[in-house]
Structure 1
């Protein structure tokens, strides 16, 4: 390593120290929890490569999560986390499963943590990471005792908020980055962006789309091929048909499945009109639709009618390669960017 590249690498390491120390990993790169994709193989590979893998629990039962954590531990002795959905009806049972396995970090997604959930997670020393799509919510979560935050912009894949990553980072990092570790997510596909957010005060970053086509990812070859062919403009947000339905927009690659979701919303709205379903049940139907549609695409390879959840960074996914190579490339790009700034 020459002196100039060494300077960039040292600067990068210093900026990642807080996030890596918090996670217990070598580098402060989280893998976003992607249902059916972020399972034992990819999670273990990311942690083994120095990053921090996160199991996507999604709609798993406690028994399934128990088996998934055990299988992941059999593949890595490095730290990894578990992502739990706050609206899961068995949330506290899932938290207990994480406790039994001594999972050190639990990521809560899908809304404000229910009463008692933070205490249950932290009772044996585990750390809680929550998503904060707005500054006011971030401050509320900090007061409630969360240990770290992820601020994720609308460029991300899957369920998204209305504000871009760059705007959220500018608005929130100066206000909250001193209080606790903050990880930036959404639209990150290269190391230069990682360097930029670290310079702004982020403790680290979270990437999802970039890892979908990893060699270790179990995603169906047809699913990966769709990613490799896609450009940024192919990853579009879903449209809300009925304002009564609390549908969080989902970013995915355009296909026939996008139209199917629009039809599903109309069907659920009609059942509301006819009194056949309550609002909570209607929302659950929507969530179950996405879980099934995503499985059809990721596992079965139905890329026409399944859901191809992808962030706008999908255009930067150009080949299938090992996780270790993806992380090494991101780190090299980030170090080079920091080196250039040091020399400027």
Structure 2
């Protein structure tokens, strides 16, 4: 893990997953202050809002933290400029393969660049493109996910990439013993989202947190793609009415495509905006029936509200004990 902490500049190479509406100043600063590495979820934020969020986070922590940017964001260039203005140390690019222009701009600004690698071929391509570190995230994670499990991706990618660059593992991690296992495989650290949702410092609505505490792994299901023409990235969330409503939304967007009322890129953006709104209804307004309760399969290991520092201490102690048992 020392390689991971040296790269991130923190005490424990435990990154906070970038969860829209959740990974904001309060949770991000709490994770960094507790020795982990908080990451602001920019999501659909416009540049001025990200500017304010970074400034507010800097008021709450003097420790390093990162910013997660979505590659398809229409204002990506401006968002990168905002990160540079605040001298953000690490930028995470998610939501697709980053362009060479975006990679060069981030690195020219002096930030370290982290990207998601959903397959070995893409991991190698990202390294050639100049990315500084990778996150290998499996389908057990919450929110937007790929089709392959964490354990398989880790076995596929770590043996080939771990010596060349820092690789973090994410998806379905709820205990320190799992962190220890991935460190032994060559990872330099991990990324967790679901475990931090029920932190006291997290602004998620009480109803949202209660849904997590009640939930188990089987409740965290995948959204279904209705129309093969509409490239919808699957979302993992707790089963509720919203998961059924999403199918109807896809049919509505597909009909507009048929009538040539919108182009494909606009159709994809409509789907993304739909998820952002559905997530906000659940996280902020507490509507856990018709809002999207995005959660990873590790949700069954979330049993109560805890301070962030306690969650991180539990993970670190459990990982250390697991490694000690193995000699």
Calculate the TM-score normalised by the size of structure 1. Answer: 0.95
Alignment pair present for 1:293 and 2:278: yes
Cα deviation 1:80-136 (Å, max 9, x = unaligned): 000000000000000000000000000000111123111111113110000000000
Q: Equivalent residues in 2 for 1:105-254 (5 A)?
A: 105-254=90-239
Secondary structure, aligned partner of 2:255: helix
Alignment pair present for 1:316 and 2:301: yes
Aligned equivalents of 1:115, 1:186: Cα separation in 2: 27
Specify every segment of 5 or more residues in structure 2 that has no aligned partner in the other structure, as ranges: none
Alignment pair present for 1:335 and 2:320: yes
Cα deviation 1:257-303 (Å, max 9, x = unaligned): 10111100010011111111111111010000000000000000010
CA contact (8 A) 2:100 2:129 kept: no
Alignment pair present for 1:272 and 2:257: yes
User: C-alpha root-mean-square deviation of aligned residues, in Å?
Assistant: 0.5
**Structure 1 runs (4+) greater than 4 angstroms displaced:** none
- Of 263, 269, 293, 1:284 maps to 269
Aligned equivalents of 1:94, 1:50: Cα separation in 2: 26
Specify every segment of 5 or more residues in structure 1 that has no aligned partner in the other structure, as ranges: 1-15
Secondary structure, aligned partner of 1:258: helix
Secondary structure, aligned partner of 1:206: strand
Aligned equivalents of 1:272, 1:251: Cα separation in 2: 25
Secondary structure, aligned partner of 2:60: coil
Aligned equivalents of 1:247, 1:221: Cα separation in 2: 30
**Counterpart for residue 9 of structure 2:** 24
